[in-house]
Amino acid sequence: MKRSLGVTLSAVAAGLGSGLLALLGTIAVVSTYLVPPPPTPGMPPIFMQVVLVVGCLILLGLAGWGMATAAGLFRLKTWARWSMLTFCALWTLFTLAAALMISVIPLPPTPGLPADAVGSIKIFVGVFYGLQAILGGVWLFYFNRPSVRAQFGGGGAPGPGPGGRPLSISIIAWLLIVGGVSTILFSILPFPATVLGMVFTGWAGRLFYLGYSVISITAGVGMLRLRPASRIAAIVIFIHAILNSLLMVALPGLPERLAAVYAGFPGLQPSQMSLAAAVPSILMGMVFSAIPLWFLVVRRAAFDPPVAGPGGLEPLLPPPLPPLE
């Protein structure tokens, strides 16, 4: 089928954006070696350099994903449409979260900057992220239209994604995998961990991050294979995230717990502004943990084993021989 103008423009936008991201990532990687970042107190000298390189590699990975998707869109590959839907869903989710966060988190006062200018900056940044969230939503709607699905061999009818999985399950699975991989970095650094309102530092925090990484990656891989036990593990992970945020705010001694968390991050000092910004951030994280939890509940049927047929095991047996004449 002939490629529509909307698909072509989407492929061009994905390619140009990915190329710019790759350029920025490459410049950032090179600059970390040409101009090493200043040392962070309480951390090994190479700490910030490793963090920056990992961040740059993530940018390059996203750029590679976008370029591959753009090439697939030009060729009307079925996987490219699902890749675009996944990207748009993540983009909409994170930009919407950023727009909501900037609207509720107070900005620290800047010397020499009028108070009304801070409010204007918040409005500008909120509108900027809000427009991106709207664009992601428009792309989601466009690539779900029957005419667009037909261009990619979908026949115009909605259906399961790659591997027979709903798109939401694939997105949650990859979020768990990427989150688990990134958490490995915390398991080798002395960052504090919060568990059901308690703060663990030192080796206890590292062991928690290591265990979380293993569980999260295992659950994500299992969800890609539609393993029912992995769905239960993912539900437990997100319920823990919600309870952890709720208890962090609700239990007495919130300022002391936040001070203990800030103390574990070199260079960060707790202040009234940081404490005021922490509560909306925690509550927002709780809301966004509830979104994948809802999808895991309503998409339960995707994890049910296939039924052989009304005859139970009969479809697995060879057909009976015809009667003798």
CA distances from 57 to 221, 313, 319 (A): 22, 50, 56
User: End-to-end alpha-carbon separation of the chain, Å?
Assistant: 53
Average per-residue pLDDT in the chain? 76
Task: List the chain domain ranges.
Answer: 1-76, 79-156, 160-303
Check residue 218 and give its pLDDT.
92
Helical segments of the chain, H only: 5-34, 47-74, 78-104, 115-142, 146-151, 167-187, 202-224, 228-250, 254-263, 272-298
> 262 or 309, which is more confident?
262
CA distances from 279 to 91, 138, 273 (A): 24, 31, 11
Cβ(303)–Cβ(228) under 8 Å? yes
Compute φ and ψ for 93, nearest 5 degrees.
-65, -50
Cβ(80)–Cβ(72) under 8 Å? yes
Which two tokens mark 264?
């574990």
Compute φ and ψ for 200, nearest 5 degrees.
-115, 135
Of 92-96, 119-123, 240-244, which range is least confident? 119-123
CA distances from 162 to 68, 92, 141, 201, 303 (A): 16, 21, 19, 41, 14
Cβ(234)–Cβ(292) under 8 Å? yes
Section 207-229 average pLDDT: 89
Check residue 232 and give its pLDDT.
92
Check residue 318 and give its pLDDT.
46
Residues 6+ positions from 247 with CB-CB distance below 8 Å: 196, 197
DSSP 265: S
> 122 or 323, which is more confident?
122
Check residue 235 and give its pLDDT.
93
> 286 or 8, which is more confident?
8
Which two tokens mark 147?
């005419």
Residues 6+ positions from 151 with CB-CB distance below 8 Å: 1, 2, 3, 4, 7, 76
Of 31-40, 178-187, 256-265, 296-305, which range is least confident? 31-40
pLDDT digits (tens, 9 = 90+) for 45-101: 566 666 677 777 777 888 888 888 888 888 888 888 888 888 888 888 888 877 777
